[in-house]
């Protein structure tokens, strides 16, 4: 079974991403850590029993990695353009039990199984060779946390709950086909739109707020 694991704010800097999330949700994400292979770092925020949100950005304290950074972060022109236009929730990630088997013949969409680390965490993640998002972000990255299981239950519950994830895309049929190929249960709401755009309605102690 493949299911939603987390959503990602793809930010020009960690500070900018944290400020945005705090402004919208009223809660500041906590420090996650660094991803040595990808040259990135993140902060995390629980938004459900087994779902969390991350802010991810290039880590300015490490050199350019040998591989293309994930989440499209090597294209900082596009990251900045999206950020300035209000397109900040850039990706989502689905959790499975075997990345290579789940991706199967869909490597052109989801990439290849790659071993990643952050501190003492070790997991596998589908990464495209060019670092871009699956279907421009309309389809999820695929990952496997291994024996540890989902990360969200280990994060502090701050009273947030994901109500709906919406994916707008010019090609809903392609997105549905990709999600069916990886066996995703509890699909996001897929809507036709002029460009790929994600939004997440999140219940907070002060009402529903939307990350976009």
Instruction: Determine whether domain 3-211 maps to CATH 3.10.180.
Output: yes
Question: What share of the chain has pLDDT > 70, as a percent?
Answer: 100
For 139, residues 6+ apart whose C-beta sits below 8 A from its C-beta are 109, 110, 133, 175, 178, 179
**115-147 per-position pLDDT tens digit:** 999 888 899 999 999 999 999 999 999 999 999
For residues 155 and 50, the answer to whether their CB atoms sit within 8 Å is no
- Write down the pTM of the prediction: 0.97
Question: Hey, where are the domains in the chain?
Answer: 3-211
CA distance 1 to 12: 33
């Amino acid at each position: 079974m493949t299911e939603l694991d987390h959503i990602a704010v793809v930010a020009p800097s960690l500070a900018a991403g944290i400020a945005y999330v705090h402004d919208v949700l009223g809660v500041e994400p906590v420090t996650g850590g660094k991803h040595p292979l990808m040259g990135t770092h993140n902060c995390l925020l629980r938004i459900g029993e087994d779902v969390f949100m991350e802010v991810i950005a290039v880590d300015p304290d490490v050199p350019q990695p040998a591989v293309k950074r994930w989440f499209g972060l090597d294209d900082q022109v596009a990251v900045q353009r999206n950020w300035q236009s209000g397109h900040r929730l850039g990706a989502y990630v689905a959790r499975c039990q075997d990345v290579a088997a789940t991706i199967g013949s869909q490597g052109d969409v989801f990439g290849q199984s790659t071993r990643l680390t952050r501190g003492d965490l070790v997991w596998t993640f589908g990464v495209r060779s060019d670092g871009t998002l699956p279907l421009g972000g309309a389809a999820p990255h695929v990952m496997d946390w291994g024996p540890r299981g989902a990360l969200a239950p280990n994060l502090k519950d701050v009273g947030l709950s994901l109500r709906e994830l919406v994916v707008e895309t010019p090609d809903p049929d392609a997105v549905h086909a990709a999600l069916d190929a990886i066996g995703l249960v509890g699909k996001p709401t897929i809507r036709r739109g002029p460009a790929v755009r994600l939004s997440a309605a999140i219940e907070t102690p002060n009402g529903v707020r939307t990350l976009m």
